[in-house]
Amino acid sequence: MEFHRFLFYASIILSISVYLFPIMANSMGINYGHIADNLPSPEDVVPIVKSIGATKVKLYDADPKVLKAFANTGVEFIVGLGNEYLDKMRDPAKAQAWVKQNVQSHLPATKITCIFVGNEVLTFNDTSLSNSLLPAMQSVHTALVNLGLDKQVTVTTAHSLSILETSYPPSSGAFREDLVDCLSETLSFHQKTGSPFLINAYPFFAYKGNPKQVQLDFVLFQPNQGVIDPATNLHYDNMLYAQIDAVYNALASLGYKKLPVHISETGWPSKGDEDEVGATPDNAKKYNGNLIKLMSKKTGTPMRPNSDLNIYVFALFNENMKPGPTSERNYGLFKPDGTPAYSLGISSTSNVAGSNTTTGGTNGKPLSPIPTPPSTPTSSSTGYLSISPATQGRYEFVGTVLLASLILTKMLLW
């Protein structure tokens, strides 16, 4: 891609961003992956991030070129420590060396506010990783304390929704029994250090796994009748909110009702293989466009209406070197040349599911209670497991997680 051509497109994006993204939420975050050989330089990415109104960026590493490019921009960063570093980070000396090199050296010019240690570790079925997670988090936090950075930089980890045993209805959300002990220790760490609980949520996988039974409008935030949680009488008209509230309930059941929940990944692919039903530009436009509208309203979920939605959209660019099905390379809001992968078409919030979330019915009509879910599905779905080293070559790969936990399809087999 020629540099001048890229600047041309970037200038167009900036000039029309006021019209394309007039109601962007100040809290909007974006995942910035690098698994491609044709992406623009970090310096050229800065105006693209600003064009969509994103004020937060999540990296899967601590790429110094990216962090330097965003210096003095005011954009907040979450930087990542890949799963392959967990064992090493158990050593406090090595953790402090990493923090000095990858975090302290960029402060205060680049606004690094959080380090996420490991990604979806507890559902990776690797005991060595799981056993290293909390010690690594503790070592990194101790390093921040020693360097006087713990008041401005928190430490957390990102989880898959598969850590839930049940999510149906949201009021019955509960963690897997085999993970409760490990999670309880991690949650105690979050509470003591003031760090958020990160969850990766993809309604797309629920639709992809069972398109005949999962209502498309419900997963795309399109107008629909919605459903009622019979235990709380709360009305849900989109799957993501139901998934988030299931996590809130699971946390509350362990005594962590006030712990903040951030959605560290969610998105929709604009292209997929023949068997990836729903992976189209139109559906991606609806999902991400409607999601951004909801974020701009600064309202929470039915269970937590006064809690801001802290959501990181996946992803900034299509990444041509990601393995797996075609969808994995087509989650980007932008193509590598800086042009939009599709128009988000944001103009108003009047026809977005979730924009007027209440208890009871819709348009004066009563809603049916959530029907009894079917038996445990035997299909599988693809979830992200990002392993991105900060100082060597970066890579992410897709891990397959079973839906035995009923997380992805049971939310709308209703």
Domains in the chain and their CATH numbers?
Answer: 27-334 (3.20.20.80)
Of residues 165, 265, 319, 328, which has the active-site annotation? 265
Look at 376 and 298; give whichever has higher pLDDT: 298
Look at 401 and 185; give whichever has higher pLDDT: 185
Q: What pLDDT score was predicted for residue 308?
A: 85
Q: What is the pLDDT of residues 223-264, one digit of tens each?
A: 999 999 999 999 999 999 999 999 999 999 999 999 999 999
**What pTM was computed for the model?**
0.82
Going by DSSP bridges, is the β-strand pair 227-228/235-236 parallel, antiparallel, or unpaired? Answer: antiparallel
Can 265 be counted among the known catalytic residues? yes
- Which residues are paired to 199 by β-bridges? 159, 263
Q: What is the DSSP string of 59-101?
A: -SS--HHHHHHTTTS--EEEEEE-GGGHHHHTSHHHHHHHHHH
Of the candidates 411, 395, 412, the one whose C-alpha atom is nearest the C-alpha of residue 34 is 395
Q: What pLDDT score was predicted for residue 168?
A: 82
Q: What is the pLDDT of residues 163-184, one digit of tens each?
A: 999 998 999 999 999 999 999 9
Can 43 be counted among the known catalytic residues? no
Q: Which two tokens stand for residue 155?
A: 């430490």
- For residues 188-193, give the mean pLDDT: 98
Give the burial class of 65: count Cβ atoms within 10 A of its Cβ; 0-12 exposed, 13-18 middle, 19 or more buried.
Answer: exposed
Percent of the chain's residues with pLDDT above 70:
77
Q: What pLDDT score was predicted for residue 296?
A: 87
Dihedrals phi, psi of 203, to nearest 5 degrees: -55, -25
Q: What pLDDT score was predicted for residue 383?
A: 28
Dihedrals phi, psi of 192, to nearest 5 degrees: -70, -35
Q: What is the pLDDT of residues 395-412, one digit of tens each?
A: 232 222 223 223 333 333
- For residues 385-402, give the mean pLDDT: 27
Of residues 43, 76, 84, 120, which has the active-site annotation? 120
pLDDT of 148 above 90: yes
Contact assessment for residue 334 and residue 54, using Cβ atoms and an 8 Å cutoff: no
> Largest Cα–Cα distance of the chain, in whole Å?
62
Q: What is the pLDDT of residues 305-350, one digit of tens each?
A: 998 889 999 999 999 999 999 999 999 999 999 999 998 865 434 4
Q: What is the pLDDT of residues 1-22, one digit of tens each?
A: 444 444 444 444 444 443 344 4
Q: What is the pLDDT of residues 265-295, one digit of tens each?
A: 999 999 999 999 999 999 999 999 999 999 8
Q: How many Å from the N-terminal Cα to the C-terminal Cα in the chain?
A: 47
Q: Which two tokens stand for residue 3?
A: 């540099």
